């Protein structure tokens, strides 16, 4: 009896999920699984058609091989669509509870909406953390494998666009080099159609252009650039041709290629180091900082989508118009998507800080969802 009394005295201080909360969470998990399966199937179907018409048709790959490529390519797209999984999944779960009159029974029994909405949002937040820290890096690794496999099959450089120049900067207190490459060949660890612009640093800190070297290719190995078919010219002197030329480099062997990874293809755990390397090389890291902040905000996005879906379902219980409320929730979901895209564009253009661009859409969505929930619960 004493133990029971002690337990009763402690229970108010220990947050525990009751039967109602656990039941609602189970229903939400089931609906999230269905929504994830549907969206994944659609993404993989679209990717299968795309790969079949692209790499598959050019190399006459089998259906099994194409499906294997799709398994590498699709997860990164699915991860980007996860906010819609939580919106549609949570909306479906609460609408199902409403249509079976279970929400009505809970409300009639005096159960506050916060008792089952907040646990649902908390679970979405935890799943968001897992998505960012575990699923996201796995999807990025799969995307990298897809890029390399596609390049190997088609015989092109992965992620390389011949029309888009690649820039690097390196050096020390005595010399700085600006490196421009027309293309990168990751398969052979080379830069193609390369130009080296070399500057010397004066004791006062000023830099003076001293030499330009153009080469057909350049490979980085053991702290040195090895150039082939190079032509170098210093100011006031005639050009000199080299069959091969070696330049000392301060870059690690893999940095010249890791630096080119797109922000979306860089795993969460690698972004801080990537940002540091880019800034040390003298380049802007805005796109990578924006991506890092967006990943940090992902759990809040998932929680906000869950609250938004739950608030609409509770509103539906009062108004009784399933079609109109469902369409309105979907419209708001896509409004968040376009707001997020617009905010990302503003952040990429450095109109607003990356922190603001990344956190503004989920914060506004969360405030809108909480406002609707307050109005439905107390209004």
Amino acid 213: pLDDT: 93
Listing DSSP states for 266-307 in one string gives: S-GGGHHHHHHHHHHTT---HHHHHHHHHHHHHHHHHHHHHH
pLDDT band at 97 (very low <50, low <70, confident <90, very high): confident
For the chain, give the mean pLDDT: 82
Amino acid 99: pLDDT: 79
Q: Which residue has the higher pLDDT, 115 or 30?
A: 30
Amino acid 252: pLDDT: 65
Paired sense of beta strands 240-248 and 224-234, if any: antiparallel
Amino acid 258: pLDDT: 54
Domain boundaries, the chain: 16-155+290-378, 173-249
Contact 229, 216 (CB under 8 A): yes
Letter string b/e over residues 222-244, b meaning 16 or more CB atoms within 10 A of that residue's CB:
eeebbbeebbbeeeeeeeeeeee
Amino acid 32: pLDDT: 94
Say if residue 60's pLDDT is above 80. no
CA distances from 253 to 167, 192, 196, 258 (A): 16, 16, 17, 10
pLDDT band at 12 (very low <50, low <70, confident <90, very high): very low
Percent of the chain with pLDDT over 90: 31
Q: Which residue has the higher pLDDT, 229 or 146?
A: 229
Of 25-34, 160-169, 181-190, which one has max mean pLDDT?
25-34
Distance CA 199, CA 329 (A): 57
pLDDT band at 182 (very low <50, low <70, confident <90, very high): confident
Contacts of 358 (CB under 8 A, 6+ apart): 290, 293, 294, 296, 297, 343, 344, 347
Ramachandran assignment for 22, one of left (phi > 0), alpha (psi -120 to 50 degrees), beta (any other): alpha
- The dihedrals phi and psi of 211, each to the nearest 5 degrees, come to -160, 150
Distance CA 103, CA 45 (A): 36
Amino acid 227: pLDDT: 93
Q: How do residues 123-144 score in pLDDT, each as one tens digit?
A: 999 999 999 999 999 998 888 8
Q: How do residues 256-287 score in pLDDT, each as one tens digit?
A: 665 556 787 788 888 898 888 777 766 778 88
Q: How do residues 345-371 score in pLDDT, each as one tens digit?
A: 999 888 999 999 999 999 998 998 888
Q: Nearest 5 degrees, angle CA 60-CA 62-CA 63? A: 125
Amino acid 357: pLDDT: 94
Strand-pairing partners, residue 242, are 230
| Mean pLDDT for the stretch of residues 33-62 | 86
Say if residue 3's pLDDT is above 60. no
pLDDT band at 1 (very low <50, low <70, confident <90, very high): very low
Tokens of 283: 């380049």
Report the range of poorest mean pLDDT among 101-110, 187-196, 330-339. 101-110
The conformation of residue 320, written as its DSSP 8-state character, comes to -
CA distances from 174 to 170, 171, 214, 282 (A): 11, 8, 21, 16
Say if residue 190's pLDDT is above 50. yes
| Mean pLDDT for the stretch of residues 19-36 | 90
Say if residue 379's pLDDT is above 70. no
Contact 183, 162 (CB under 8 A): yes
Distance CA 254, CA 85 (A): 37
Percent of the chain with pLDDT over 70: 83
């Amino acid at each position: 009896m004493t133990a029971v009394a002690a337990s009763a005295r402690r229970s108010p201080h220990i947050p525990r999920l009751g039967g109602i909360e656990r039941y609602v969470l189970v229903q939400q998990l089931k609906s999230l699984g269905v929504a994830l399966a549907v969206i994944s199937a659609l993404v993989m179907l679209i990717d299968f058609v795309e790969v079949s018409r692209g790499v598959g048709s050019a190399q006459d790959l089998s259906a099994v091989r194409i499906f294997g490529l799709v398994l590498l390519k699709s997860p990164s797209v699915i991860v980007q669509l996860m906010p819609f999984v939580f919106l549609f999944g949570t909306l479906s779960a609460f609408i199902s509870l409403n249509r079976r009159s279970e929400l009505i029974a809970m409300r009639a029994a005096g159960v506050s909406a916060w008792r089952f909405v907040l646990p649902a949002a908390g679970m979405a937040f935890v799943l968001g953390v897992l998505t960012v820290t575990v699923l996201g890096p796995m999807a990025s690794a799969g995307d990298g494998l897809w890029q390399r496999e596609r390049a190997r099959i088609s015989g092109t450089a992965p992620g390389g666009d011949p029309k888009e120049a690649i820039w690097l900067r390196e050096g020390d207190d005595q010399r700085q080099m600006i490196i421009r490459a027309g293309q990168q060949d990751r398969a052979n660890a080379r830069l193609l159609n390369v130009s080296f612009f070399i500057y010397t640093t004066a004791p006062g800190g000023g830099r003076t252009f001293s030499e330009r070297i153009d080469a057909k290719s350049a490979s980085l190995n053991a702290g040195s650039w090895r150039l082939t078919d190079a032509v170098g010219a210093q100011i006031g002197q005639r050009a000199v041709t080299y069959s091969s030329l070696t330049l000392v480099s301060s870059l690690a062997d893999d940095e010249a290629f890791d630096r080119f990874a797109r922000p979306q293809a860089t795993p969460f755990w690698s972004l801080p180091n990537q940002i540091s390397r880019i800034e040390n090389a003298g380049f802007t890291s805005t796109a990578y900082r924006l991506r890092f902040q967006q990943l940090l905000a992902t759990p809040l996005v998932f929680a906000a989508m869950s609250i938004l879906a739950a608030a609409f379902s509770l509103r539906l219980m009062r108004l009784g118009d399933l079609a109109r409320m469902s369409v309105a929730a979907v419209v708001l979901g896509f409004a968040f998507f376009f707001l997020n895209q617009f905010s990302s564009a503003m952040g990429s253009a450095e109109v607003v800080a990356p922190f603001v661009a990344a956190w503004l859409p989920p914060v506004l969505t969360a405030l809108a969802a909480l406002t609707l929930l307050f109005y439905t619960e107390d209004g």
